[in-house]
Amino acid sequence: MSRVAYVDGLYVPHREAAVHIEDRGYQFADGVYEVCEVKGGRIVDQRRHLARLTRSLDELRIPLPMPLAALDVVLHETVRRNRLVDGIVYLQVTRGAARRDHGFPPAGTRPTVVVTTRRLDPAEGERIAGAGIAVITVPETRWARVDIKSIALLPNVLAKQAAREAGAREAWFVDREGFVTEGASSNAWIVTAAGAVVTRPLGPEILPGISRAVVQDVLNAEHLRFEERPFRVDEALAACEAFVTAASQLVMPVVRIDGRPVGQGVPGPIARALRRRFHDFAELS
């Protein structure tokens, strides 16, 4: 079956999907996006994702392209038309197409909306989680508002490529003070020798991850010690466990940082437990 994409009001074959060459997302990375997990044909945490989308649009002064109820219909219909059971659904909204000019386009320019899906193999995800992943560290080179889920991702692209070339799956950005901010496509966590689960506080330096919020709910329910504070690379290397969270990875154990083992060099019990409990606390629609 051919894949289907949604582009500005039309469901079209994926291979034929296109936007205008002067779309501001294409020319300026002037837009935002969301990625939701799809599990068993249902969208995971869509409500929280759309709330974050709305915030990102507000911060960039891009109007919401349609009511949230209509976006809900578009997302579910795109999933349905692709007969997607397990995978991700991608939503992108840009400021629209207009004559190239750095300032905002004329009032009334319609935002561009694109929705696509991609299949993922849950068994492959479990295999990777069972072994754990390696991460590298790279200097923080992104702009000062990464709390906005912008499509301007060139530093993330370069960090991901550096990770691949080093035989790793993720890169952690490290700020000028030596603290880990987050991953190129994930939030970063450690578990200390005292059993505290630690991640950086929300702020302009990190994305307010939806999976991060779900894990926080699990931690609260399980009465596990949770600390929101910055941590350095050397503390991560001395930790008992480390992991990352993201919609496409859920809770993914980290077993090596810059080629050095974390803890025993295998996925730890807390990361494994958080992964098992994740969907008990996520919302499916």
Number of C-beta neighbours around residue 137 at 10 A: 21
Number of C-beta neighbours around residue 124 at 10 A: 9
Number of C-beta neighbours around residue 28 at 10 A: 15
CA–CA distance, 234 with 182 (Å, rounded to integer): 15
Q: What residue type is assigned to position 117 of the chain?
A: T
Number of C-beta neighbours around residue 26 at 10 A: 16
Contact, 132 vs 254, CB < 8 A? yes
Please say if 149 is a catalytic residue: yes
Contact, 49 vs 145, CB < 8 A? no
Contact, 139 vs 172, CB < 8 A? no
Contact, 60 vs 86, CB < 8 A? no
Contacting residues for 134 by C-beta, under 8 A, at least 6 apart: 166, 167, 168, 169, 170, 254, 255, 256, 257, 259
Given 39, 52, 95, 149, which residue is catalytic? 149
- Catalytic residue positions? 149
